Amino acid sequence: MAAVQALKTLVVPPASGGMPSATVFLLHGLGDSANGWIDVARMLGRQQALQHIRFVLPTAPVQPVTVNMGMKMTSWFDLYSLTSLEEGEDEAGMLRSVEAVRGLVQQELDGSAPGLNGHKLPMNRIVLAGFSQGGAISLLLSLTQPEQLAGVAALSTWLPLHAKIQSMRPPTPPTFPLFQAHGTLDQIVEYQFGQRTFAFLQNELGFHSLAEWHEYPMPHSACPAEIRDLGAWLERVVPL
């Protein structure tokens, strides 16, 4: 595997002005950047019940993307097809991004991330959230590491490497609260991919009542109702 590339990040500090008691990572989708989600992070962070949260938004590396005729763009991994997301997956690229994000999480744990000044956050106060490709990386990382996160939010996405995910999990795999949301009009990551991921997480990986499903009449995007629901879920999984 090629060397893991350090990721650039944008940080929205707690609106309270103090040190955070929780961190939410927010990973963008294909061709986007941290800037594309900074307004969402700020909007969530201003909510009264979420002002203790620090939001960390990394930007994916720039690389050629097969589905876009080999054009270079920000991407968490190469994507070969939109009609068959589960065939010919870029496993090496996915695992590189998992390790890169894992490195950022480790900086939260040991207090070495910029702005923390040695203030450490435990894994059970860290949430991974992501849209599309970013959601796929969030799911893959959370399912293959041994410590339990506070929760995972998977937006308009799918579970990659599902055929081998069981063999990639630790001996005693943790479960965690899961917020999954999808647009019923999504023509990029089809609605059925989200539904199948949710069913797999419940029936094969044992999430059951820990997982909640939300759907909205929208294409491959986010909507105000979804962000409101995400905010309410964050209040429950990382309360003050």
Catalytically active residues, by annotation: 132, 186, 220
Residue with tokens 């010919």, as numbered in its chain: 88
Q: Which tokens go with 131? A: 């849209």
64 backbone dihedrals φ, ψ, rounded to 5°:
-65, 145
Q: Which tokens go with 60? A: 């994916």
- Residue 152, number of CB atoms within 10 A of its CB: 26
Alpha carbon 232 to its chain centroid, in Å, reads 17
Residue with tokens 């979420």, as numbered in its chain: 50
Q: Distance (Å, rounded) from C-alpha 214 to C-alpha 228?
A: 11
Residues 108-129 as b/e (b if ≥16 CB within 10 A, e otherwise) read bbeeebeebeeeebebebbbbb
Are 21 and 124 a contacting pair, CB within 8 Å? no
Are 237 and 52 a contacting pair, CB within 8 Å? no
